[in-house]
Amino acid sequence: MSLRKLVTEDGEIYTGKGFGADLRGWVSPPFELVFNSSTVGYQEILTDPSYTDQGVVFAYPLVGNTGINRDDGESGRFAPSAAIVREDCADPSNFRCEGTLGGVLARSGVPGISGIDTRRLVRSIRDRGSRRAVLADAEIPPEECVRLIRETPARHDQVSRVSPKEVSVVPAEGEERLTVAAVDCGMKENIVRSLCRLGCRVIRVPYDTTAEVIASFHPDGALFSNGPGDPEDVPETIGTARELLGQLPVFGICLGHQILALASGAKTYKMKFGHRGGNHPVKNLLTGKIGITSQNHSYAVDLSSVAGTGLSVTHINLLDGTAEGLACPEKRMFSVQFHPESAPGPEDSTALFDEFIRMMKS
């Protein structure tokens, strides 16, 4: 594969070997440059719709060593705009392997770059923050890449692009006990699997489904899922959440957590470089216990805006003190910024699904 380079909006250049989709003679559309610190789960990461319009830098040096299989995907597509790694394994070894990472990315139209100093790049993102970048053929002048980034407006339609267009139903595993209406803003499959294993029938609805339509399904509870982008870009979903609060039990995960906060009157803000990885310590303020969590988000709830909303802060991130959980018992609502379904990551928080089940049953 030909040489290519990663160029950031402030002029940093990283030259390496190309893999995945061919870039000879052209430049990728601009994307937000982010990093993930997980040591495992590259397939789950690359198929998470929350990475739409982002280029993922893998802090772990070797990626692709177990190949790609049909079971570990979190959606039906590879979501990021680019994959950026230190070393791409072209000869994977695993009994479930059905293809190489580079081969599958090529068929999916996702370009990658390997052989660059990802430690330097991760440190740059930590020091300077997330910023926009492109992948380009090595022959294209860097000035042209920077110009393209600066002249291309950032998109704000990520959720509408990854959310389903129609309602669908996923049956419970075994005996069906409850029905959950899941507002799919780019929902990971393991959220659905986690609910179905607990006896829930899941009705997946598009992000802009009204509260009236959701109520017509007579669900026992509603879930607002993870997804990409700025939560303020989906006022339709915020409005639906506002109408449902107090009408039935509501659970929010990641973007859903932010949407429920906005629906309750709190505010959100964009973080310097976000949280992405499977090793974030979170303290439960109700129990005093600490769990290691899986995270993937660029935005957070402004702690100073929670007062007077009826919400209480239930969890905080021990690395930077940001809000990781909210609750309003009067309205039978709670939410978390992290991912209790993991995939990839630790399973310290899976009991939150059981808590949602108990809330619906009561």
The set of catalytic residues is 254, 339, 341
C-alpha span between 194 and 163 (Å, rounded): 19
C-alpha span between 337 and 315 (Å, rounded): 9
Going by DSSP bridges, is the β-strand pair 312-317/268-284 parallel, antiparallel, or unpaired?
Answer: antiparallel
Those residues whose C-beta lies under 8 Å from the C-beta of residue 66, and which sit 6 or more positions away, are 92, 93, 94, 96, 97
Query: Which residue, chain included where needed, has tokens 């994959």?
Result: 83
CA 304 centroid distance within chain: 24
Note whether 349 and 336 are within 8 A (CB).
yes
Burial of 110 (0-12, 13-18, 19+ CB in 10 A): buried
C-alpha span between 333 and 342 (Å, rounded): 21
Those residues whose C-beta lies under 8 Å from the C-beta of residue 235, and which sit 6 or more positions away, are none
**Which residues does residue 19 pair with via DSSP β-bridges, in sequence order?**
112
Residue 130's alpha-carbon distances to 53, 69, 137, 176, 343, in angstroms, are 13, 30, 22, 44, 24
- Residue 132's nearest CA partner among 10, 260, 238 is 10
- Residue 149's nearest CA partner among 136, 159, 162 is 136
